[in-house]
Amino acid sequence: MESGHDTGWRTGFADAQHVEALRQLKVTHVLTVASRLRVWSDGRGEGDDAGPPPGITHVQLHIDDHPDADLLAVLPAALSFLGEALGRAWPPPAHRGNFVLVHCASGISRSAAVVAAFLMDSAGMAYEDALAYIKRGRRFANPNVGFRHQLLALQEARGNLVTAKKIYRKMIQPMGEERGVRDFIRIQRETANALHARVDEMEDSVSSITFRQKEDEYKDGISQLFQQLEEGFKDELLACIQLLEEENARANGTTFLDRPAHIIRSSASKKAKRLLESLDK
């Protein structure tokens, strides 16, 4: 796949295995950004690696796709490989005649992160601009949250990897030595899900009360009981809304904001406020 103006150079595992397609596209270099993948083996990524087809230079970077993986550690080898294939100027000069395929398992996170780093290094792009460029040819490209912040640290460090590592260590320092990025994200999501579940339970209770209030056989004693229940539900809903707002403020103040958790909290907050309004009618 062409590695000049064409952005179709980040793909998944299956594309790298298609030897005939690589030849048709005149691919000269393949960069595998994944641990444990054997690209040219038995077709399933298993068995002994047969090595690259004739005429193709291949390098594999061993890194897993999770937020705690050290992307900055593999970037020197990645940038060196891509620089040797394409040169350091941007766009790559046509006379070099090299075509590069960068792939991981799914073509979403690891390969996109490496190509973004190369664009930042060779073209001087900001991270967001590099990702937008990549998405023109690979719309699913989305480096995980750990990779994203390591690339942002690299941007802040103006491409200096040693400085970028120091900046990134400062980013994750508030999490503590025993808690990584993945655990930090997991806690945000678990808390958001728990608060949403609490609001869901209250929705069932409120729906039951509002249904019974509409029944004709509504006795005074029962009515007073339901009024007391309503007041209790209002207090709990207000408490839930306050907790959600506090959790939003806490999460928004962190470097590693989990977007799905933010969406869950927003949904729970809107539902709680709607239920509160229904009790006030």
Sequence spans of domains, the chain? 10-174, 181-280
Per-residue pLDDT, 5: 44
Per-residue pLDDT, 33: 94
Torsion of CA 22, 25, 26, 27, to 10 degrees: -50
Per-residue pLDDT, 237: 87
Per-residue pLDDT, 8: 39
Assessment of whether the complete model's pTM goes beyond 0.75: no
Per-residue pLDDT, 174: 67
The first and second tokens of residue 121, run together, are 């290094």
pLDDT digits (tens, 9 = 90+) for 171-207: 887 665 556 787 888 888 899 999 999 889 888 777 7
Q: In what helix (H) or strand (E) does residue 117 lie, and over which residues does it extend?
A: helix 110-122
Q: At what angle do helices 259-280 and 220-252 cross, to 10 degrees?
A: 150
Per-residue pLDDT, 223: 53
Tell me the C-alpha distance between 51 and 32, whole Å: 12
Per-residue pLDDT, 80: 96
Per-residue pLDDT, 123: 93
Tell me the C-alpha distance between 271 and 254, whole Å: 25
Per-residue pLDDT, 15: 61
Q: At what angle do helices 259-280 and 181-213 cross, to 10 degrees?
A: 20
The set of residues, in sequence order, having a beta carbon less than 8 Å from that of 266 and lying 6+ positions away, is 248
Question: In this structure, which CATH number among 1.20.58, 1.10.490, 1.25.10, 1.10.600 belongs to the domain 181-280?
Answer: 1.20.58
pLDDT digits (tens, 9 = 90+) for 100-111: 989 998 889 999
- Taking domain 10-174, whether its CATH number is 3.40.640.10 is answered by no
Q: Is 240 a catalytic residue?
A: no
Per-residue pLDDT, 267: 93
The first and second tokens of residue 274, run together, are 């709607």
Residue ranges, the chain, pLDDT below 50: 1-8, 44-48, 214-219, 221-222
Catalytic one among 30, 61, 104, 116? 104
| Bridging pattern class, strands 100-103 and 57-61 | unpaired
The set of residues, in sequence order, having a beta carbon less than 8 Å from that of 142 and lying 6+ positions away, is 108, 109, 112
